[in-house]
Amino acid sequence: MPAGPSLYDMLLGQIDGEPLSDFDDRTLEALSVQQNVRRILNTRAGALKHLPDYGLPDLTNIYKSLPASSHALKEQMELTLLKYEPRIRSIEVAMVATSEPGLLMSFELTCHLKRAGLVRFGTHFVPPGIFRLERRVREGRP
């Protein structure tokens, strides 16, 4: 599963070596949103002095208070993504049970994009405070 287009790929007119022309507009928008969501979730609030609430709070406190802190993290993700990803009209974040070793929490993000419609991402919270993000694609749908 591609991680989403990097700026370098976009400048070269490709995603993971595939020409941008191989993707429809809806898929390109979903991949771009995925890249921005990943960037937001992996940035700590306060890291950008001009946008002090961009990103998520220090995850050390989240770790210490699990599982009670997972609800607060879910709400923070919703608020932050709605504020800093303008292509998302609405979002639902649901906690997903995980049995994968090393994962502390997993969420499914159901994003209603203003132009491209519905897209889902699975996000996995792994030590040392990194979010892995993958686009969930259903059979027969981009």
Q: For helices 69-84 and 25-41, what crossing angle results, to 10°? A: 130
Query: 7-136 in CATH: which number?
Result: 3.10.450.40
The candidate with the shortest Cα–Cα distance to 30, out of 125, 96, 123, 118, is 118
Band the pLDDT of 139: cuts 50, 70, 90: very low
pTM for this entry: 0.77
Residue 15 has pLDDT above 90, yes or no: no
Tens of pLDDT, residues 29-47: 888 898 899 999 989 988 9
In angstroms, the Cα distances linking 86 to 34, 36, 109, 113 are 13, 10, 15, 9
Q: What is the DSSP string of 74-123?
A: HHHHHHHHHHH-TTEEEEEEEEE---STT--EEEEEEEEETTTEEEEEEE
pLDDT for the residue 1: 35
